[in-house]
Each structure stands twice: as C-alpha cells, then as structure tokens.
C-alpha cells in the first residue's frame, strides 16, 4: 500500500471493522500497528470498514495518503491547539461547522480534530468537504473495498442539530 508496516501476530477479526477516534497517528505506535493489521485483515476478508475521526486518518495513511496538523484557524472551527494535555482528545469540547456533500447539500457536524487528511489516498472519493474552504476533506469512501469514513463524531450526542446518522451520509 504506500505505508510500511510490520505484520504482528494475527489480529483476527470476524466482521465489519470500526476504527474510532483517539490519539494522533504516530503517538501510539502499538495502536497504529494494530490498526494497520486490522485494516489488512478486514480487506483480506472483504469486511466493510468504517472510520471515525482518527479512523479516517489511519485509513488514509494506510493507503498512502498524508495527515497534517492544522496551523492556525483555517476554516470555521478547525483550530490548531495544544493537545499535549489531552492525548486522546476526550476532554476537548466539540466545535460545530457545516460540511458540504457532493450533492451540494450542507449538514452540521461536530469537530474534535486538529489534524486532517491533507493528501487523500488515490483510492478514496471525497464525499464531504468543509463548507467555506474545500481543502479540508470531511468524509470519503472507497466503494470497491466497502470503506466509509468521516472526520466528525456521529456517535457523540452533544446537540440536536449535529446528529446526522452515517446511513444518511453514506446512502448505501
């Protein structure tokens, strides 16, 4: 793929793979390695994969894309921040902003990230981008491999206006 990784002991998965949020890629090499192995296992078994926040970033990295830290206030509520006091971002208060889909419709989502997929791997189609600056991919998919990923956290119940179920984002 474009990312070198070592095969660890078998990481047997037996169904769809959900890659969730958490610490930045590179800060926990053991977790990174496990997730690379799970991705390979899911692909080999032809299981669907869903990525949320870090999950989107690790999928992008696995397939040869790049992940970059945002500098300054780039768009809406994406902020560069000192995340050293909150390694897994669990204490961060979400910001809310609009993203636009391929169909031109906007939805409100939450944001708890300070990194993004700056170069999206070739196999992914970006399906949502930040509304005011289309350089921030907010969701992508690879239908051939049954992969769907979002940068926001649809599982977090923080406000009635940001709940947008994944089945509406990826109408498959």
Q: Which of 35, 53, 78, 141 is catalytic?
A: 53
DSSP state letter for 144: G
Task: Respond yes or no: is residue 155 known to be catalytic.
Answer: yes
CB contact at 8 A, 59 and 29:
no
CB contact at 8 A, 49 and 37:
no
Range list of H helices, 6-53: 29-45
CB contact at 8 A, 113 and 97:
no
Pairing state between β 125-130 and 95-101 = antiparallel
Helix axes 54-62, 29-45, angle to 10 degrees: 70
Q: Report the alpha-carbon distance of residue 26 to residue 72 in Å, rounded.
A: 21
Instruction: Work out the number of other CB atoms within 10 angstroms of the CB of residue 156.
Output: 15
Task: Respond yes or no: is residue 53 known to be catalytic.
Answer: yes
Task: Respond yes or no: is residue 153 known to be catalytic.
Answer: yes
Q: Which of 41, 113, 153, 158 is catalytic?
A: 153
Q: Which of 114, 117, 155, 158 is catalytic?
A: 155
By annotation, the residues acting in catalysis are 53, 153, 155
């Amino acid at each position: 793929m474009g990312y070198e990784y070592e095969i660890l002991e078998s990481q047997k998965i037996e169904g769809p793979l959900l890659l969730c949020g958490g610490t930045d890629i590179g800060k926990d090499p053991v977790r990174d390695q496990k997730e690379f192995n799970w991705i390979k296992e899911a692909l080999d078994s032809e299981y669907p994969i869903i990525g949320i926040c870090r999950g989107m970033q690790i999928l992008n990295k696995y397939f040869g894309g790049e992940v970059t830290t945002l500098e300054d206030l780039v768009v809406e509520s994406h902020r560069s921040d000192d995340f050293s006091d909150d390694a897994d971002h669990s204490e961060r208060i979400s910001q809310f902003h609009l993203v636009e889909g391929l169909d031109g419709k906007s939805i409100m989502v939450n944001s708890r990230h300070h990194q993004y997929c700056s170069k999206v791997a070739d196999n992914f189609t970006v399906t949502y981008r930040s509304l005011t600056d289309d350089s921030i991919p907010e969701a992508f998919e690879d239908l051939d491999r049954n992969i769907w990923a979002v940068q926001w956290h649809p599982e977090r119940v923080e406000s009635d206006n940001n709940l947008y179920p994944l089945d509406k984002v990826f109408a498959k």
